[in-house]
Structure formats: C-alpha cells, structure tokens
C-alpha cells in the first residue's frame, strides 16, 4: 500500500496551487469552505458518498497545514483518527505516510485507552492530503475566499427555517450554487492575532481572517449565536542552537503501529524515527512570565482558551512554584526546527527569547518565529443537529474549530461526518446517524450538539461511557461495515478487508473456545504456563504464539490477529455485559418517569448539572430524558436504575 502511495505521490509533487482547477461550473452538490483538517475530510467524504463537490480555500498551498503542533493522535484523539480511518477518511493514512516518530501513549493502562500518536513531518503531511484530494473523483479544488453565503428566506410554511443555496466569492460577483454548504473556517472567523501588546487581523500567522461578510451572514441573517475563544502556539526554535544533551531522550516505539487499518507498517522504518526530548521549566520561567504580564494583552483577556493545552503563562499562574514539562519535538525530516510543546506563549518576541533561555537545554536557543495567540468566533454548536447541520438553515453544515473544538483530530472527525451528511442530503438521501454507544465520533458530536461548549472542547477517553467497547483496535469492526452498507462512504477495497478481518477473528475465537484440555494436559503441552486457580483451571501467561505452536492446525493461520485476539479476550466479558446494558436502555426508552420524582434524592453519582436539568424539565419518559441537552447516557443509566429498583 505504501509503495503504491510513494509512486502516486511522486507524480503529484507539483504544488497543488498549480494543479488546482479553474472553476468550470457554477453548480455543485456540495461546497466545502476551508481546506484545514475538517474541510479536507468533509470534501473527500462528500465526494465519496457520490456528491459533485467543490472545495474552496483561501490558499491551496496550505491545504492540510498543521497550524500548531506537528503531531497527530494521543489519548482519545488517537481513537478519533482510527475511527476516521475506519470510515475511509484521510488523516490516518496521511499520518502513517508523514510520521517520523510513533508511540502508543497510556500503555500502563488497558488497551481500550491506549493512545496511538505520531510526530509528523509537516511537509509530507500536506503533500499527502493534497495528492489525495487531487485524485479524488468528483472533487474539484479551487483557491478563493468565500465572502458570503447565499440564503433563501424562510419558507412561509416552515417559518424560521432558511435554506442555503450557495456562496459568493470575495472580490467578485461570482456566485456558485449548491444543495449543501459545509463551513470549516477554523480559527479564521473574525480572527485576530496577538503578540505582546499588538494585535492584528488574521486567522493564522501569514493568513488573513475570514471576511466579515461571512460572520455577518451567520450572525445577522441566520440569527446564529456565536461566542469567542482563543488559543496560542509556541515559538519555533532553531535545532542546532539547542543543547539536547541536557534533555531526556525519548525514542519512538521499536515497532511503530500504523493508524490506518489498510497499512501493515508505517512509511518510516523503526530505525529511521527521530527522537523527542523532555525537559523542565525552571523558577526563572515563572519570573519572566510574571514580570511581563503587563506587556501581554492576549493573556489579560477573559476569552476562554484551551484548558488542556494551556499557554506557559496560564500554567505558571495556575500552578505557581511548579516545574512544567516541555517536550522538544522534531518538525520534519529535513526541518532545522524544534517545536517546544508546552511553551505556547504570547509575550513580546524579545521576552519570549528571555523566557526560553531560562530552560537549561535552551540556554543559547534561537527563535525562528515567535509564539502568538489567536482569538476567533465560533458558532454555539447546540444550534446543530447530530448530522452537524444548522437546525434553522437547511443545507448548512458546520465542522471543526468553528464549532468550538480544538485539535486536528476533533476537526477531522466532524469534517468527515458533516461531509457525509452534506453529500447525502444534497443527493436527497436521509442523513446518517452515529451514536455515542458505537463511536468516539458519536460521543464528540453528541457532546457538542447536546451540551455545547464554554471552552475549547477536546476529546478524552473519559468522555466515552462505553469505552471498553470503543477501542482503537476494533474501530474497523465497529464502523467500516456500517460505513459501506449504510452510509456509502467506504470503498469496496476497505470493506472487503474489514469482512476478511471480521470473519478471521470470529473463526479464531470459535477455535479458541473449542480447545478444551484438563489442567494436567495443559501443563504437559505448555510447561511454561501457570494455572492461577486450581478449581477453574484458569491458565495465565499463555501467548497466542504458544497456543499456535501446540495446535498449529487450529491457530497458525490467525497469527496476524494475535494482538487483537488477546485484547478481545480481555474485554469480552465486560463488553458483553455493557452490550446488554445498552440494549436494555434502548428497550426501556418508553419507560414512564413518575411526575413526583425527587431528582435531588438520586444517587450521588448523578451530576449536579443533570439533576438541575431533570428537575427543571421533568421529562415524562426515559427516552425524553435521553434527548435532553446535557443528559449523558451515564445519567440515563442512573435514572433507569433509580426508577426501576426504587421499591
């Protein structure tokens, strides 16, 4: 797969801006605005479901740009990448192609919460995404800035519901019509950049913000509620000015695991991986932050920033007197820069230099580009349906940072889902649904549309109630079949592969269950195994390879699945129990809730927020409670148990 990709890429290495099309038509099924992580997945997905799709983005050469960190995946985020891949999205394969350091985070915990992660070569990532888009059938890519959405006034029969009919490009009267439009403008909507005491309009360094016309359409014409969020990025540091011998070396995994279910290995060989380095801040860092607060207008503002990816200013002010981790990460194979993860900052450039030089390996460091902050508008996502369509505007879909999320993976997951549904709705097919019991993408979307955001939202495994079933290793079995059979976004090649894997795993499990020997016979055949419990004769310390050596006729053909089978075996009892709980909940949807229920006397595990909502709305059935904004499946389980077992 990777060799074929290499050949294809070589023929695509001319810049995308030269290869991007001139607009030949004025009518498409779907228009996607923005070529970031949400927009690229949306455009490819809409085209995959059969829609004639146009991707319009400000600069084609920045399609697939990693605006901030040169990495993909991690705990929770890695699950999203695997799921996007299982639905035939781009980011998993792009990360396998561009990865230069792979590691699985959280290995000390169970495989359900392992976090596959890769450091990426920025240029290779962009090249992959661009070549993939340019070779996607039914997809046209053009450079341009969208100034305005074309909107039909509400149908008198359905007051309050507008319909989007297309877009108008900036600096021209050019209008292009479409059955659906997906907006993925990231940090660009009314974006402002901040360094020190200066601020200027911008969506990202070197890029203009989205035009005011777009904000005007969303807010004033469509009446959408918007809010403002912020984020920031660290300075980029010249690698040869850093004394890496003073930092702790972290090599990649000895056997890099690919993100994509279509890849058996990554492009980068294990021995070619570039290391990351870990170092710590010193008290000098805190001193510089405190001394320069009055020169740092980004940090002085009330706008909410990413709590889980905070600036160094926020970290030292929130946790004074502590040392904070700083990871020095490679930016690419040929790049001479390091990305200091953990040092996002917005003070004046000369103070940024003073600050980083307080950290031992960075004592003589040089900055190539200073850190900066960005503030931008987002649309409150409770105004969207689970298909990511604006409830009050038919045909308008939103995905990515515009919905109040942060991170490439969250953007890619939403982009994929919005693109699928925009394509389906433009082709007059019903929109597809993905629940939080079957995927992290479902969790992400349900959280956004039912709870909204008050600060930039990022994915964690703790957000998924059914996380032992929603593992990175089984995303293909959860989603690829549905993606092909019900949604229409998966190629037959990937579908066939998922069927092969599913059948082989089912056969291997049946074969495993059919082997039955007495403890004494097990001990004879496998002297190295332990019998942990005399009564049940439970065997421990047996690997699949050991079993295959004893029963080659039963198991040797399944050795490629040994890791997956082991994980499956560990989680099977728990997942079976969980599946029954999910099915029971779905059956009990119609269960009546008594009028006089005292929500304040429910078990302490029900959150304060859930009690308030239930007490205020007083839903009449369990199903109605399930659909309330802010009521999670965990709260519904609580409620179900309380009503059912109260007597």
Shortest approach of ligand FAD to residue 57 CB, angstroms? Answer: 4
Shortest approach of ligand FAD to residue 42 CB, angstroms? Answer: 9
Shortest approach of ligand FAD to residue 169 CB, angstroms? Answer: 8
Binding residues for ligand FAD restricted to 331-370, rule: CB under 6 A: 344
In the list 31, 46, 58, 182, the residue contacting ligand FAD (rule: CB under 6 A) is 58
Strands 27-33 and 53-57: parallel
Q: Which bin fits 556, alpha (ψ -120 to 50), beta or left (φ > 0)? A: alpha
Q: Torsions phi, psi of 38, nearest 5?
A: -75, -45
Binding residues for ligand FAD restricted to 510-539, rule: CB under 6 A: none
131: Cα separation from own chain's centroid: 21
Residue 234 binds ligand FAD (CB under 6 A): no
> Would you give the end-to-end CA distance of the chain in angstroms?
60
Residue 126 binds ligand FAD (CB under 6 A): no
Nearer CB in complex with ligand FAD: 34/332: 34
Residue 309 binds ligand FAD (CB under 6 A): yes
Nearer CB in complex with ligand FAD: 206/284: 206
Q: Using an 8 Å Cβ cutoff, are 90 and 40 in contact?
A: yes
Shortest approach of ligand FAD to residue 483 CB, angstroms? Answer: 21
Longest dimension (CA), the chain: 84
Residue 53 binds ligand FAD (CB under 6 A): no
Distance from C-alpha of 609 to C-alpha of 549, rounded to nearest angstrom: 55
Strands 325-330 and 71-73: unpaired
Nearer CB in complex with ligand FAD: 211/469: 211
Residue 136 binds ligand FAD (CB under 6 A): no
Residue 215 binds ligand FAD (CB under 6 A): no
Record the tokens describing residue 169, joined without a space.
Answer: 């490009």
Residue 233 binds ligand FAD (CB under 6 A): yes
* Helix, strand, or coil (residue 340): strand
Distance from C-alpha of 446 to C-alpha of 630, rounded to nearest angstrom: 9
> Residue-wise over 151-161: b if at least 16 C-beta within 10 A, else e?
beeeeeeeeee
Among 56, 331, 78, 315, residue whose Cα is nearest residue 188: 56
Nearer CB in complex with ligand FAD: 80/631: 80
Nearer CB in complex with ligand FAD: 355/613: 355
Nearer CB in complex with ligand FAD: 331/568: 331
Residue 210 binds ligand FAD (CB under 6 A): yes
Shortest approach of ligand FAD to residue 585 CB, angstroms? Answer: 33
Q: Is the sign of the CA dihedral 46, 52, 56, 62 positive or negative?
A: positive
CA distances (Å), 585 to each of 437, 450, 601, 619, 622, in order?
Answer: 11, 19, 21, 16, 9
Shortest approach of ligand FAD to residue 22 CB, angstroms? Answer: 16
DSSP 495: H
Distance from C-alpha of 39 to C-alpha of 412, rounded to nearest angstrom: 8
Shortest approach of ligand FAD to residue 318 CB, angstroms? Answer: 16
Q: Which bin fits 177, alpha (ψ -120 to 50), beta or left (φ > 0)? A: beta
Contacts with 455 (C-beta within 8 Å, 6 or more apart), sequence order = 229, 304, 305, 306, 307
In the list 115, 252, 306, 381, the residue contacting ligand FAD (rule: CB under 6 A) is 306
* Helix, strand, or coil (residue 51): coil
Residue 214 binds ligand FAD (CB under 6 A): yes
In the list 28, 30, 37, 395, the residue contacting ligand FAD (rule: CB under 6 A) is 37
Record the tokens describing residue 92, joined without a space.
Answer: 């998993």
In the list 49, 56, 268, 643, the residue contacting ligand FAD (rule: CB under 6 A) is 56
Residue 16 binds ligand FAD (CB under 6 A): no
Q: Using an 8 Å Cβ cutoff, are 304 and 225 in contact?
A: no
Interface segment toward ligand FAD; rule CB under 6 A; list 57-65, 423-431, 433-441, 586-594: 57-65
216: Cα separation from own chain's centroid: 29
Distance from C-alpha of 487 to C-alpha of 567, rounded to nearest angstrom: 28
In the list 218, 222, 289, 411, the residue contacting ligand FAD (rule: CB under 6 A) is 411
In the list 53, 406, 421, 469, the residue contacting ligand FAD (rule: CB under 6 A) is 406
Among 468, 573, 469, 561, residue whose Cα is nearest residue 507: 561
Distance from C-alpha of 400 to C-alpha of 183, rounded to nearest angstrom: 9
Distance from C-alpha of 429 to C-alpha of 424, rounded to nearest angstrom: 5
Nearer CB in complex with ligand FAD: 99/310: 310
Interface segment toward ligand FAD; rule CB under 6 A; list 34-42, 266-274, 568-576, 598-606: 34-42
Residue 252 binds ligand FAD (CB under 6 A): no
Number of residues that bind ligand FAD (CB under 6 A): 39
Binding residues for ligand FAD restricted to 166-205, rule: CB under 6 A: 184-188, 203-204
In the list 60, 67, 130, 273, the residue contacting ligand FAD (rule: CB under 6 A) is 67
Shortest approach of ligand FAD to residue 549 CB, angstroms? Answer: 45
How many CA atoms, within 13 angstroms, populate the side-chain half-sphere of residue 396?
27
Interface segment toward ligand FAD; rule CB under 6 A; list 33-41, 105-113, 441-449, 574-582: 33-41
Q: Which bin fits 537, alpha (ψ -120 to 50), beta or left (φ > 0)? A: left
In the list 30, 38, 345, 413, the residue contacting ligand FAD (rule: CB under 6 A) is 38
In the list 16, 31, 46, 68, the residue contacting ligand FAD (rule: CB under 6 A) is 68
Distance from C-alpha of 365 to C-alpha of 357, rounded to nearest angstrom: 6
Interface segment toward ligand FAD; rule CB under 6 A; list 123-131, 240-248, 406-414, 540-548: 406-414
Q: E strands, 106-223, where?
A: 115-120, 139-143, 146-152, 162-169, 175-183, 192-195, 198-201
- Strand 71-73: give its sheet, edge to edge: 71-73, 115-120, 99-105
Residue 119 binds ligand FAD (CB under 6 A): no
Shortest approach of ligand FAD to residue 89 CB, angstroms? Answer: 13
Shortest approach of ligand FAD to residue 291 CB, angstroms? Answer: 24
- How many other C-beta atoms lie within 10 A of the C-beta of residue 577? 10
In the list 102, 259, 339, 408, the residue contacting ligand FAD (rule: CB under 6 A) is 408
Interface mask toward ligand FAD for 77-116; x: CB under 6 A: ----------------------------------------
In the list 103, 145, 450, 626, the residue contacting ligand FAD (rule: CB under 6 A) is 145
- In the complex, which residues of this chain contact ligand FAD (CB under 6 A)? 33-39, 56-58, 62, 67-68, 145-146, 184-188, 203-204, 207, 210-211, 214, 231-233, 306, 309, 344, 374, 400-401, 406-408, 411
């Amino acid at each position: 797969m990777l060799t074929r990709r290499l050949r294809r890429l070589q023929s695509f290495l001319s810049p995308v801006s030269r290869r991007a099309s001139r607009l030949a038509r004025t009518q498409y099924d779907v228009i996607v605005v923005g070529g970031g992580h949400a927009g690229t997945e949306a455009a490819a997905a809409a085209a995959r479901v059969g829609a004639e799709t146009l991707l319009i983005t400000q600069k084609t050469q920045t399609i697939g740009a990693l605006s901030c960190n040169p990495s993909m995946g991690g705990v929770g985020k890695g699950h999203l990448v695997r799921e996007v891949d299982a639905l035939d999205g781009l980011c998993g394969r792009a990360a396998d192609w561009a990865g230069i350091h792979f590691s699985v985070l959280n290995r000390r915990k169970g495989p359900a919460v392992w976090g596959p992660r890769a450091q990426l070569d920025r240029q290779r990532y962009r090249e992959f995404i661009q070549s993939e888009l340019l070779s996607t059938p039914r997809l046209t890519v053009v450079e341009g800035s969208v100034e305005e959405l074309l909107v039909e006034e509400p149908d008198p029969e359905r007051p309050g519901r507008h319909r989007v009919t297309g877009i108008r490009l900036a600096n021209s009267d050019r209008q292009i019509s479409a059955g659906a439009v997906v907006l993925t403008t990231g940090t660009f909507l009314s974006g402002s950049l901040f360094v020190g005491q200066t601020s200027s309009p911008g969506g990202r360094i070197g890029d203009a913000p989205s035009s005011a016309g777009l904000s005007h359409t969303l807010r004033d014409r469509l009446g959408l509620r918007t809010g403002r969020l912020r984020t920031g990025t660290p300075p980029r540091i010249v690698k040869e000015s850093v004394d890496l011998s003073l930092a702790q070396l972290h090599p990649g995994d000895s056997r890099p695991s690919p993100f994509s279910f279509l890849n058996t290995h990554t492009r980068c060989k294990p021995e070619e991986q570039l290391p990351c380095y870990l170092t710590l801040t010193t008290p000098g860092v805190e001193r510089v932050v405190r001394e320069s607060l009055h020169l740092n207008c980004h940090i002085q503002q009330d706008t909410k920033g990413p709590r889980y990816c905070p600036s160094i200013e926020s970290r030292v002010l929130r946790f004074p007197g502590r040392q904070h981790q700083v990871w020095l990460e490679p930016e690419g194979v040929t790049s001479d820069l390091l990305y200091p993860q953990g040092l996002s900052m917005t003070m004046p450039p000369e103070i940024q230099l003073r600050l980083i030089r307080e950290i031992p390996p960075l004592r003589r460091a040089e900055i190539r580009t200073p850190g900066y902050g960005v503030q931008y508008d987002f649309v409150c996502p409770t105004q969207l349906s689970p298909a990511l369509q604006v409830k009050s505007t038919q045909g308008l879909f939103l995905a990515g940072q515009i919905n109040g999320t942060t991170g490439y993976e969250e953007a890619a997951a939403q982009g994929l889902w919005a693109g699928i549904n925009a394509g389906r709705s433009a082709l007059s097919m019903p929109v597809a649904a993905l629940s939080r019991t079957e995927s992290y993408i479902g969790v992400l979307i349900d959280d956004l549309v039912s709870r909204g955001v008050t600060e930039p939202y990022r994915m964690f495994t703790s957000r998924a109630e059914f996380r032992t079933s929603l593992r990175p290793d089984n995303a293909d079995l959860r989603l690829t079949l549905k993606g092909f059979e019900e949604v229409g976004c998966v190629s037959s090649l990937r579908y066939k592969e998922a069927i092969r894997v599913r059948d082989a795993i089912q056969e291997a499990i049946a074969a495993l269950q059919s082997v039955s020997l007495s403890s004494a016979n097990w001990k004879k055949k496998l002297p190295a195994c332990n019998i942990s419990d005399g009564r049940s004769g439970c065997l421990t310390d047996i690997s699949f390879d050991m079993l295959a050596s004893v029963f080659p006729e039963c198991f040797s053909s399944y050795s490629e699945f040994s890791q997956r089978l082991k994980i499956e075996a560990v989680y099977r009892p728990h997942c079976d129990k969980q599946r029954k709980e999910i099915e029971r909940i779905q059956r009990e949807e119609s269960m009546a809730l008594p009028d006089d229920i005292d929500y304040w006397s429910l078990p302490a595990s029900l959150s304060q927020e859930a009690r308030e909502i239930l007490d205020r709305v007083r839903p009449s059935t369990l199903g109605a409670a399930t659909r309330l904004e802010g009521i999670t499946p965990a709260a519904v389980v609580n409620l179900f148990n309380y009503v059912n077992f109260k007597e």
